[in-house]
Structure 1
Amino acid sequence: MHITFLGHAGFVVETAGAIVVMDPWLSPRGAFDSAWMQLPCNHHLAPLVREKLETPGKERYLYVSHEHKDHFDPEFLATVRQRDFTVLVPRFHRSELQDVFGKYGCKRVIACEDGHEVPIKGGYVKLFVSEQGTNRDSAVMVRGDGQCFLNINDCKLHDRMVRIVAEEGPIDVFSAQFSGAIWHPTCYEYAPDTYAAISLKKRESKFEAVARTLEVIQPRAYIAAAGPAAFLDPAQFHLNFEAVNIFPNATQLFAFLKQRLPRGTARYLEPMPGDVLDAKSLEYVSQVAERVTPENLRDYLHDYAKRQESVFRGRRRNLLVAEVREIHERLRTELQRKLDLLDLHERVGMPLYVELTELPEQLLRVDFKARRVHVVANIQEEVRYTLKTSAADVGRVLDRKLTWEDFLLSFRLRLSRNPDVYEPVLHGFLGVEIEDMREFCEGIRSTESQRERTVVEAGGRRFSIQRFCPHQGADLSEGWVEEGRYLVCPRHRWQFDLEAGGVCTQNTSTLCAELLPEREQEKPQTPATDPQPRL
């Protein structure tokens, strides 16, 4: 088995029986309205990937893990001319990927349920699908030539890893995201020290998730992928050089892993786009000459930004006053349509204020309780959530050139909230498409309906808790305890204070934790409720 790294989360896996191209993100315009660019630059690999997909001989597969444009690159895929290959996509409730590839003209499209196995000569390709609320993702495993490669990219399968390894057997090469891919705290108006503290906590939480997964899988090699992007828009260029943010590099991850797992045997690999790894020997078949390192990164990014200047010149346009007012009214209508479909609107206890920078005295106030969006001159409440952006940027969402989630990931907005507490319904209201709003609400109700309980031990005491996380349903029996009292969700690393009834330290979610009576404190654990760290 040979594994060619394409950059970011992209790979080409070649076995004796098949070629599997995974998440090729190669467009010179990057992703999320060009806010994210591939780091290192990999645009030159487009001809190679087209050749892999177009050349007959072996069975060929294109795998796309989810809709985020740093994984699903329609612009590059449109340049592939010969499409006699099979496309593998996860079967989500939202059918966007199936719909797009249904019109793509390829040999066939297989929409895979969780655990779907596609046989290839001497092995198989298997997808693992995860869908909770607004979070839709998948992972892929390729087994062939006596080796196994598991690529979970951004997919939060951490609470399932014990079972996957038990069912699938040894994994030789493993890859998982280690860098941030969210707009918090990047887009929030925090004081510098608060921003740094939040970023550091998120970074260490992500590193810990990788470490615990490596403990479970025990692969022969770990490939650091789905790492930080390059932010080359002049308005965002400073993000590349912040002292602390949620976009660490592989060098920082490896330093953490070597300290955290001093007896670990896995090789830590940071390939450059174009490097080819032999999965059996773990030696590189070939390596590109240009290597990006922490020492040359600053110069590399400045040169990269100069090469991409035309991309950002091309997206700038000054709007007429009439155009801004039209976008303002269209935005009000869009938010009202969303609100009309938000069945859980009464749960949101604060209003949302949306400001177009061109019309600072005409704020859109989303009143969740009254289910109304109206125009006000200023912010009226201390307890509130705010969003500020330009008419030009949000107009691209209204024109359906971006999804709402793409827009949030573009970082071309500023957010604030008081109190600084995550509100899942409001968060979903911002990021979910209109057509998915009812399903989003149903997903929250479905998660909340899971009432199964389990027992965990913390600080020498045993607690009865709800087994599934109230956020997105992760199995908390696969979590771990920190500081003798905080149960940590293995999927998003939320902390729940067992000594305070299981209330989340980040918001008002709860596990309804109950200290067991003294007579039940000595009962042995069962395997299904073993609270020991599993990831």
Structure 2
Amino acid sequence: MEVRFLGHASIYIKTEHVSIVTDPWFSRRGAFLWSWFQFPDNTELDLGFFKDVDYVVLSHEHQDHFDVPFLKTLSPATKVVIPQYTDTYLFDTLRANIANEVIVCPTLQKLQLGDVTFRPVVQSVPFWDDCTLIFDTPDGTIIDVNDMKLGSADAEWITRHYPEPLLLFLQYSGATYFPYAYEMPQERKVELAQRRVRSKFHGVKQMFGSLNARYLVPCAGPAAFLDESQFALNFAPESIFPSQADFYAYAEEEGFAERTLILLPGQAIDFGRQAKEQSLESLQDRAFTDRTGYLADYRERRKELIAEGLASLPDHFESLVPRFQEFLEPLLASSPFFRRKIGGAVLFDLGGSYPEQILVDFRRVRGACKAYEGEAYFYRFTIDGRILALYLNGQLHFDQLLLSLRFKARREPDVFNEYLFMFLRFADPASYAQIQRYEEQRAFDERFELDYGGERYSVQRYCPHAMGDLSKGEVEDGALVCPNHGWRFSLETGEAQRQMGCIAIDRIGHAATGEGSAAGQLTGPA
């Protein structure tokens, strides 16, 4: 069997009877409004072998995994396999752009691809459209988690069915706009970013151990930020985008580097060599030894393309208030649940060809969208009106807008309102109704016991955000940190520290030793 890394989250698997590629991303245009580019650059690879690829398997809809311009170049004989999600965006977009056969595979179902058995594990928490791809080959099982935050139920299912996988491909670098896009004191931004990086690394280590894979391949990040306005983010202390070299240093500190493979785009895994030998060889590449110079040269190669892309955004020379009203007010009318959960007004401070300030009061239906006249608001988005117009006109997903990092945000109080972002992301009454049903049916009765600081606590097991298993978390500075997305809950009150939400937690006595267990030790379900 040949397993070759093609960059970012793309893997080439070739056995005696089949060839498969996952999540190919080779577009020189990058992703998310010319903000993200592949690191290291994989666009110079010889892709001649693609004419003979039997299957392309896609995990989810984000542009760094779903590269439509590249998919248009596939051989007509290549079949495309996608997971079955609650919405049909992937399928509909493929049908509108390519003539290849598209196979939709339901979660956990087996699909035979030559001598490889494929199974998708779609995120069991609704509305998180991510998917782990499992390839059971004659020479071992390959688990490609990519961006998915594996919940306990999904991870336990995988370990039951695939107890000793050969390879685990897993995202280790950040992939979000927080805290970079938020206006806050610099020292606070750095503190939050460094905390998120530590939490992400710890989560990868835990998942690697939990899934019991022989080798870990850290992948699916970071992006290279090559626009001049974003270039400093590659190196800034407030960045949540560490390099493969940073992660490998952590793996060395934590004692699992000898089972960690750092791969360059185009590099095949040599199963006859030690992983450490291959990794140290990869880390001698200029992308890691001279990252600043490497990225500066890369920026020059993309400068014209980025400038042309941004210049192509259509100008508008009239107020967007009517478009806000037409787009958002019917959505607000459809969901009292979301109006109540958002519970406030948001200011959109628009720049570009027609600067203006628009207030949206998410508590209202009629007159919810209007020109700003000094009213109170709890969130402010500062953004080029040309970009927001793309969203209002259905040409840009809200996720794509956020991941472009081409906006600034401010919130008062400094608390994440998840419902605001879900409302803008889904923009669909049927999805709102599904989310409401899911929220109202969730059960949080299961508990576990935690020993910390000489005290024993009975704690709600599942995080209210995305059902992450808090019993797999760790305690930092008196807060229990969810291993999935890093939400932090006070051990004293159960309140989320920077988000809306809380967990049930009770102090039930002293730890068994009298002094308390090691910090954050978890004793399992109560």
1:140 corresponds to: 133
1:490 corresponds to: 483
2:518 corresponds to: none
Moved more, 211-220 or 71-80: 211-220
Query: How far apart, in 1, do the equivalents of 2:339 and 2:40 lie?
Result: 43
Q: Offset of 1:32 from its aligned partner?
A: 0.8
RMSD over aligned CA atoms reads: 3.1
Q: Offset of 1:75 from its aligned partner?
A: 0.7
Are 1:274 and 2:266 matched, yes or no? yes
Pair 379,296 (structure 1): closer, same or farther in 2 beyond 3 Å? farther
Say which of 172, 193, 205 aligns to 1:211.
Answer: 205
Are 1:37 and 2:24 matched, yes or no? no
The answer on whether the counterparts of 1:467 and 1:476 sit within 8 Å (CA) in structure 2 is yes
1:254 corresponds to: 248
Name the amino acid aligned to 2:22. Answer: M
Pair 128,145 (structure 1): closer, same or farther in 2 beyond 3 Å? same
1:226 corresponds to: 220
Are 1:374 and 2:366 matched, yes or no? no
2:193 corresponds to: 199
The answer on whether the counterparts of 1:199 and 1:245 sit within 8 Å (CA) in structure 2 is yes
Q: What TM-score comes out, normalization by structure 1 length?
A: 0.86
The answer on whether the counterparts of 1:403 and 1:433 sit within 8 Å (CA) in structure 2 is no
Are 1:92 and 2:85 matched, yes or no? yes
Q: Offset of 1:465 from its aligned partner?
A: 3.9
Q: Offset of 1:99 from its aligned partner?
A: 2.3
Moved more, 98-107 or 307-316: 98-107
Q: Report SS of the residue matched to 1:110.
A: strand
Moved more, 417-426 or 91-100: 91-100
Query: How far apart, in 2, do the equivalents of 1:521 and 1:40 lie?
Result: 50
User: Which structure 1 segments of 5+ residues have no match?
Assistant: 54-59, 523-529
Q: Report SS of the residue matched to 1:11.
A: strand
Pair 46,353 (structure 1): closer, same or farther in 2 beyond 3 Å? farther
Q: Report SS of the residue matched to 2:286.
A: coil
Are 1:181 and 2:180 matched, yes or no? no
Query: How far apart, in 1, do the equivalents of 2:313 and 2:13 lie?
Result: 46
Q: Offset of 1:281 from its aligned partner?
A: 5.2
Q: Offset of 1:108 from its aligned partner?
A: 4.3
Moved more, 206-215 or 308-317: 308-317
Moved more, 188-197 or 212-221: 212-221
Query: How far apart, in 2, do the equivalents of 1:320 and 1:496 lie?
Result: 44
Q: What TM-score comes out, normalization by structure 2 length?
A: 0.88
1:57 corresponds to: none
Q: Report SS of the residue matched to 1:76.
A: helix
- State the aligned residue count: 510
1:503 corresponds to: 495
Q: Offset of 1:149 from its aligned partner?
A: 1.6
Are 1:235 and 2:229 matched, yes or no? yes
Moved more, 434-443 or 504-513: 434-443
The answer on whether the counterparts of 1:275 and 1:288 sit within 8 Å (CA) in structure 2 is no
Query: How far apart, in 2, do the equivalents of 1:533 and 1:215 lie?
Result: 17
Moved more, 38-47 or 413-422: 38-47
Pair 444,183 (structure 1): closer, same or farther in 2 beyond 3 Å? farther
After superposition, residues 277-296 of structure 1 pair within 5 angstroms as 277-279=269-271, 291-296=285-290
Name the amino acid aligned to 1:428. Answer: M
Q: Report SS of the residue matched to 2:264.
A: coil
Pair 483,388 (structure 1): closer, same or farther in 2 beyond 3 Å? closer
Deviant stretches of 4+, over 6 Å: 287-290, 318-321
Q: Offset of 1:437 from its aligned partner?
A: 4.3
Q: Report SS of the residue matched to 2:251.
A: helix
Query: How far apart, in 2, do the equivalents of 1:83 and 1:66 lie?
Result: 22
Are 1:170 and 2:188 matched, yes or no? no
1:154 corresponds to: 147
The answer on whether the counterparts of 1:357 and 1:388 sit within 8 Å (CA) in structure 2 is yes
Name the amino acid aligned to 2:252. Answer: K
Q: Offset of 1:265 from its aligned partner?
A: 6.5
Q: Offset of 1:3 from its aligned partner?
A: 1.4
Query: How far apart, in 2, do the equivalents of 1:131 and 1:439 lie?
Result: 18
Q: Report SS of the residue matched to 2:64.
A: coil
Q: Report SS of the residue matched to 2:41.
A: coil
Q: Report SS of the residue matched to 2:492.
A: helix
Q: Report SS of the residue matched to 2:295.
A: helix
Q: Report SS of the residue matched to 1:354.
A: strand
Name the amino acid aligned to 1:374. Answer: C
Query: How far apart, in 2, do the equivalents of 1:188 and 1:77 lie?
Result: 34
Q: Report SS of the residue matched to 2:369.
A: strand
Name the amino acid aligned to 1:124. Answer: T
Name the amino acid aligned to 1:34. Answer: W
1:2 corresponds to: 2
Query: How far apart, in 1, do the equivalents of 2:9 and 2:85 lie?
Result: 20
Q: Offset of 1:131 from its aligned partner?
A: 5.1
Query: How far apart, in 2, do the equivalents of 1:67 and 1:226 lie?
Result: 14
Q: Report SS of the residue matched to 2:368.
A: strand
Say which of 450, 454, 459 aligns to 2:447.
Answer: 454
Residue by residue over 1:383-427, the C-alpha shift from the partner in whole angstroms, topping out at 9 and shown as x without a partner, is: 610001112222222343321111111111111101111111112
Name the amino acid aligned to 2:290. Answer: N
Q: Offset of 1:439 from its aligned partner?
A: 4.5
Q: Offset of 1:70 from its aligned partner?
A: 0.4
User: Which structure 2 segments of 5+ residues have no match?
Assistant: 514-520
Q: Report SS of the residue matched to 1:72.
A: coil
